[in-house]
C-alpha cells in the first residue's frame, strides 16, 4: 500500500470520528494528515511526511484554539438578542408596585416587569434588558 493511501485513509477516519463526536479539533488534525498525504504524492520521505503532519495538524489546532480564545464570549440566551427578539424592545411602565414589580401591556398580553439591578423604579419608557421566565427585566430609557 502506498504511503499516500495510508494518509488518505487516516484523514478519512479522522473526519468520520469528528462527525460522530463533534470534536472540531479532529478536523484540524485531518488537515495535517491531508498535508502528509500530499507530501507522499510529491515523493517526500516518511520523516518529512510525519513532520509535516505534526506541524500542519498541530499548528491548525493551536491556531483554532487561539482564535476561539480571542473571540468574545457568547451572551446567555436570556440576554442575547440573537436568541430572544424581545431584548432591546421598549415598554411603557405607568406605575410601579411597592414590591418593585409592575404590569405592562406588551405584544398583546400582560407582562410582569422588574427593574434591572441598580435602577430606581420610575414610570416612563423602559427598554427590555433581559427575559427571565415570564418576567421582563427593564431599564429606564434616557430622555434625550
Q: Which CATH architecture has domain 90-140?
A: Beta Barrel (2.40)
| Residue range(s) occupied by CATH 2.40.50.140 in the chain | 90-140
Per-residue model confidence as pLDDT tens for the chain (144 residues): 889 999 999 999 999 999 999 888 999 999 999 999 999 999 999 999 999 999 999 999 999 999 988 888 777 776 777 777 888 899 999 999 988 899 999 988 899 999 988 888 889 899 999 888 889 999 988 865
Nearest to 15 by CA among 50, 43, 57, 51: 57
Amino acid at each position: 500500500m502506498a504511503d499516500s493511501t495510508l494518509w488518505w485513509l487516516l484523514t478519512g477516519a479522522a473526519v468520520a470520528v469528528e462527525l460522530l463526536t463533534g470534536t472540531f479539533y479532529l478536523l484540524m488534525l485531518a488537515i495535517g494528515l491531508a498535508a502528509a498525504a500530499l507530501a507522499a504524492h510529491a515523493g517526500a520521505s516518511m520523516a518529512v511526511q510525519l513532520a509535516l503532519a505534526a506541524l500542519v495538524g498541530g499548528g491548525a489546532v493551536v491556531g483554532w484554539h487561539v482564535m476561539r480564545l480571542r473571540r468574545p464570549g457568547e451572551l446567555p440566551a436570556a440576554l442575547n438578542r440573537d436568541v430572544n427578539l424581545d431584548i432591546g424592545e421598549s415598554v411603557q411602565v405607568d406605575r410601579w408596585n411597592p414590591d418593585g414589580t409592575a404590569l405592562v401591556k406588551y405584544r398583546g398580553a400582560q407582562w410582569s416587569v422588574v427593574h434591572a439591578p441598580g435602577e430606581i423604579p420610575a414610570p416612563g419608557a423602559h427598554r427590555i434588558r433581559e427575559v427571565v421566565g415570564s418576567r421582563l427585566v427593564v431599564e429606564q430609557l434616557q430622555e434625550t
